Amino acid sequence: MSETKAVKKKEKKNPVAKKEEGLTAPKKLKILVTIVERSKADFYLDTLEGYDVNLQTVIYGKGTAPTEMLQYLGLSQLGKAVIFSVVQEDNIKRILADYEDKYFKTKNGKGIAFTIPISSVIGVMVYKFLSNSVEGARSE
C-alpha cells in the first residue's frame, strides 16, 4: 500500500511531466510540384501514392515557348501536367530519388520536380489530413 501512495503523490506533484513524455513535434509538410508530359501524369501519380500522399491536384497546361526554342531544347510536345502534392518532409528525398530513377528509365522521361515549404497549417484535423495521419473517423 505504501508504494502505491508514493506513486500517487509523485503523480500529483507533477501531472504534466507524464503527458509531456508522449509529445512529439509535428512532421513538416512541403508542396511537391512535378511537371511532366501529360501522357505520363498517371505514372507519376501512382508513384506518389506509394508514399502515402493524401492530397494531389493535377493541372493540365500548354507551353508558350516559341517553336524555335522548343526545337533547340529538343522538346516536342507542348502539353504538360503540373502535379501539386502535399508530402511529409521525411519522404522528399526518397520521392525525388524515385523520380530521378524514373526520368532515366522511361522513354522521354523528362520532367521537373521541386518543393515549396509549408510554414503553417491551421487546425489539427487539417494537418492530420494533409500529413495522412488521421487515425480514424470520430463517432458522434
Residue 100 lies in a domain: yes
Question: What is the CA 18 to chain-centroid distance, rounded?
Answer: 32
Residue 9 lies in a domain: no
Residue 74 lies in a domain: yes
Q: Which domain holds residue 54?
A: 29-130
Specify the residue for cell string 507533477: 14
Residue 140 lies in a domain: no
Residue 113 lies in a domain: yes
Q: Could you read off the pLDDT of 100-139 as tens digits, one per residue? A: 887 777 776 778 889 999 888 888 888 887 887 766 544 4
Number of domains observed in the structure of the chain: 1
CA distance 41 to 46: 9
Residue 125, domain CATH:
3.30.70.120
Q: Could you read off the pLDDT of 2-19 as tens digits, one per residue? A: 555 554 444 444 444 444
Residue 88 lies in a domain: yes
Q: Could you read off the pLDDT of 73-94 as tens digits, one per residue? A: 666 666 889 999 999 888 899 9
Residue 3 lies in a domain: no
Provide the residue type at 21 as one letter.
E
Residue 61 lies in a domain: yes
Q: How confident is residue 140, by pLDDT bands cut at 50, 70 and 90?
A: very low
Whether this prediction's pTM lies above 0.85 is answered by no
CA distance 130 to 53: 8
CA distances from 133 to 82, 85, 125 (A): 25, 16, 9
